[in-house]
Structure 1
Amino acid sequence: MKYSIIKDHDWLLILTVFALASFGVLMVFSSSYVEGMYMGEGGSGDPYFFLKRQAVWFLLATILFIFFMHFNYHVFKKLTPYILILSFLSLFLVLVGFGSSGGGAQRWLQLGPFRLQPSEFVKLGMVIYLAQVYSQKQVYIHKFIKGVLPPLIVVGLIFILIMRQPDLGTATAILMVTFFIIFLSGARWIHIIGLGVVGGSLFTVLAVSESYRFRRLTSFVDPFADPMNDGLQLIQGYIAFAHGGLTGTGLGGSVQKLLYLPEAHTDFILAIISEELGILGVLFVLACYGVILFKGVLIGIKCKNPFGSLLAFGIVFQLAIQVVFNIGAVSGLLPITGITLPLVSNGGSSLLVTMVSIAILANISRHNIRQNRLKEDFDNQVKTA
């Protein structure tokens, strides 16, 4: 079997990822330089503060992308115990005095000049763990106690640690991915429906248990009922969309980023994209996501290895959840959960994990392509023998 660096890589997937991530760095700068200048996080007063930080993360993410694109994804099966230990340890450290706070939550670890959000890494870690464990339970996946339940205990503990931060959006995303992987593993419908009822009930209880959380989850229904508090962010986002129109005000021409729209460079960066580049800019973002998700689904379908297939579908669904949650929140169709727009929003941990996740997809695709080429070479040898 001949190796070809051109033919053995999914270049459409790779180029789309880098196009969107590069566009994200540009939009982080455009949406944040006013805040960097006047707010000056840490008193910096530097309009390039967020750009420089995001550019460093993008460079690091690029290096890791290249590495994991060529890292045999099968090795993750052996690394799963260590991934679980690191997941629990990082979340535990956040809660016992080593974490840093922001926005009323304690979700980060300060490691020198870098501030990491462990829950972002845990999301990928849980996809790897669930793909590994359920790929080995195919024989008795129809049995709830022996097949379905054991991994849910681990997921439950992770869920509790993340909710202690608190971060309902990330915790819910992990539960949804877990449910999806169980479904793809071939669990019985009665078990799937039962887990759906339990998960929905748990979300409802958590949503109404804290008044601030309930207000945040329901304010999207009528943001104008409280335009100066819970509805402020969404209303300012609406204004940005309306101001942009079809072609936008031009790169750098946003008015809402002048400290009117909270979290303009993170949660609501899509609103700034719409304001400056119009609906066409939004369509570009959506087209990139469409290519990435479509390619990811094809990779999962073509992979004949149960672990690789579940891993690919888990990564794709995790990414899709984040995209839907963010765009739904910015457009007012879903509650605001604080989940950022993958590859585009400011945030080093999110960018790093998303690019590593897609690099794993590219690696699975590479194995698929090489396996198909091996089969073709074998068939040709048989025909010519």
Structure 2
Amino acid sequence: MSAARIAMQAAKTCPPAPPRAPLGTATGGHAMDADWLGRMDFLLLGLTLLLTLFGLVMVLSASGVMASRQFGGAYHFFMRQSVFAVAGLVLMSVLAAVPIKRVYAMTYPLLVLTTVLLVLVIASPLGVQVNGASRWIKLGFFNFQPMEMAKIALVLYLAWFFSEKQDLVGRFSVGVVPPFVVTGIFAGLMLLQPDFGGAAMMTMLLFLICLVGGTRFVYLVGSVALAGMAGWTLIVNSPYRWKRFTAFLDPFADARDTGYQLVQSMYAFGSGGTFGAGLGASKQKLFFLPEAHNDFIMAVVGEELGFVGVTAVFLVMGLLCWRAFHIAMTLDDLRDRLTAYGVTLIITLGAVLNMAVVLGSAPPKGVPMPFLSYGGSSLLGSMVCVGLLLNLSRQPRGNRPLGSLGGGR
């Protein structure tokens, strides 16, 4: 057979080449293509907007009286929170649209920047001290809390680490030492502020990501035992922490001092009943309940909107977390899955710990409710998490069984 006839036969049997992608688009799994907006998880976006709008309403309700007395206008905290919400939405939109590889490229710079900020909080005039703790940095318009950035930086690092070292994480020198050292630096700097709750949040993120990342279970059990002993030592050797711990065990034993905030929170929930006293009708926010528009804003929700209102918040927050976990479980790339899982943990742990503290199921600790509590750092951090999740929802996704976030053990 001649060469010409062979070429003609090959042309008939071979499939045509796929059409070239339009200029400005790409076909790689991590690059933006023409249908990137259509693949975005709009249910997650809608739930985020709903919680943010509800949070603005509750901040206005919970802070109006305090704002009028301290600043001469009922809208002071509401207006500031509105600015944070707009800035957060812009940041969320940017993170949802940029190629995810550009975000991943910032992992190590973000680790270094976060470490520097945590040092500046405790060792520079920029640190702002409130109630004996220095956890904020002055940035002119508002005080920034580096802990919110530290949680995201840690998740990005751990996701990179366990995706790159998957074949070696079973070894103690690889699967334990590097991630524990990085987390230990963050937690140690937070304890110097002091911020025991922030350090505890870092260790919980580390444990839960190691659990799915491939670290051997025996190492995790040992680390939990050591962390528990270290935490108990810190509590019993600190009069301030010990008083807060005993107030958690029996807040009514010292209802005028260490148990005061928790007792007032319980009064708020108890007086709300089934349907609440009505939006804006809370009495506990009239300087009885400290931090009514911050960490204890859910107590105001319970008093004004009752069991029905609190349940509605639980349902919406639960749907948001479920949607976020669903995104994590269906992603193809291991680093994408671990990143989505980690930022989902930030939101989920924040919501669970906040409600546990407000309802007296956990020792008192300043943990804001994501999207609802007043505070620019918390709101911006939550928006960053959602922006990353929206971005990852556009990445290649399949159907994976539950529990397959990480690799094998």
TM-score, normalised to structure 2, is 0.87
| Corresponding residue SS for 1:250 | coil
Letter of the 1:295 partner, please give it: R
Residue in structure 2 matching 1:136, options 159, 164, 182: 164
CA displacement, residues 113-167 of structure 1 (integer Å, 9 cap, x when unaligned): 1211111111111111111112111010100112321121111111111111111
Aligned residue in 2 for 1:35:
66
- Asked if 1:47 corresponds to 2:78, the answer is no
Match of 2:100 in 1: 73
CA contact (8 A) 1:57 1:351 kept: yes
CA contact (8 A) 2:175 2:214 kept: no
Counterpart residue identity of residue 137, structure 1? K
Q: Does the alignment pair 1:193 with 2:238?
A: no
- Please list, as runs of the form range in 1=range in 2, the aligned pairs for 1:360-375 lying within 5 A after superposition: 360-368=388-396
- Contact 1:215–1:230 (Cα < 8 Å) also in 2: yes
> Does the CA-based 8 Å contact 1:131-1:307 persist in structure 2?
yes
Does the 8 A contact of 2:114 with 2:146 survive in 1?
yes
Answer with 1 or 2: which has the greater Rg. 2
1:18 and 2:49 equivalent? yes
Residues in 2 aligned to 1:76 and 1:218: alpha-carbon distance in whole angstroms: 43
1:255 corresponding residue in structure 2: 283
Q: Which structure's residues are more often helix, by fraction?
A: 1
Shift, 1:5, TM fit: 6.0
CA contact (8 A) 2:162 2:214 kept: no
Q: In 2, are the aligned partners of 1:74 and 1:308 still within 8 Å (CA)?
A: no
SS in 2 for 1:173: helix
Gaps of 5+ in 1: 373-385
- For 2:116, give the aligned amino acid: L
1:64 aligns with 2:91: yes
* CA distance in 2 between partners of 1:120 and 1:271 (Å): 23
Identity of aligned residues (%): 36
Instruction: Please tell me the root mean square deviation across aligned C-alpha atoms, in Å.
Output: 1.5
Q: What amino acid does structure 2 have at the position aligned with 1:16?
A: L
8 Å Cα contact 1:76/1:128 also seen in 2: no
Change (3 A) 1:249 1:368: farther
Deviation at 1:361? 0.9
CA–CA distance in structure 2, aligned partners of residues 121 and 96 of structure 1: 18
Question: TM (normalized to structure 1)?
Answer: 0.92
Query: In structure 2, the residue corresponding to 1:366 is in which secondary structure?
Result: coil
Taking the aligned partners of 1:368 and 1:268, their CA distance within structure 2 comes to: 40
Q: 1:84 aligns with which of 111, 120, 131?
A: 111
Q: Does 1:321 align with 2:349?
A: yes
> 2: CA distance between counterparts of 1:226 and 1:252?
29
Change (3 A) 1:6 1:307: closer
Moved more, 49-58 or 202-211: 202-211
Cα distance, 1:213 vs structure 2? 0.9
Q: Which amino acid aligns with 2:101?
A: H
Shift of residue 291, structure 1, vs aligned partner = 1.0
How far apart, CA to CA, are the structure 2 residues paired with 1:18 and 1:344?
11
Greater Cα shift, 212-221 or 305-314: 212-221
Secondary structure of the residue aligned to 1:106 is strand
The answer to whether residue 124 in structure 2 is matched with residue 99 in structure 1 is no
Q: What residue number does 2:264 align with?
A: 236
Residues 1:288 and 2:316 aligned together: yes
Q: Which runs of 5+ in 2 are unaligned?
A: 1-26, 28-32, 400-409
Residue 363 of structure 1 aligns with an amino acid whose one-letter code is N
| 1:380 corresponding residue in structure 2 | none
SS of equivalent to 1:266: coil
Q: Which amino acid aligns with 2:217?
A: W
How far the C-alpha of 1:3 sits from its partner, in A, is 3.5
Q: Distance in 1 between matches of 2:36 and 2:328?
A: 21
Contact 1:217–1:337 (Cα < 8 Å) also in 2: no
CA displacement 1:164-213 (0-9 Å, x = unmatched):
11111111011110011111111111111111111211211122221111
Matched residue SS, 2:72: coil
Aligned to 2:148: 120
Within 2, Cα distance between the matches of 1:324 and 1:90? 27
Letter in 1 for 2:119: F
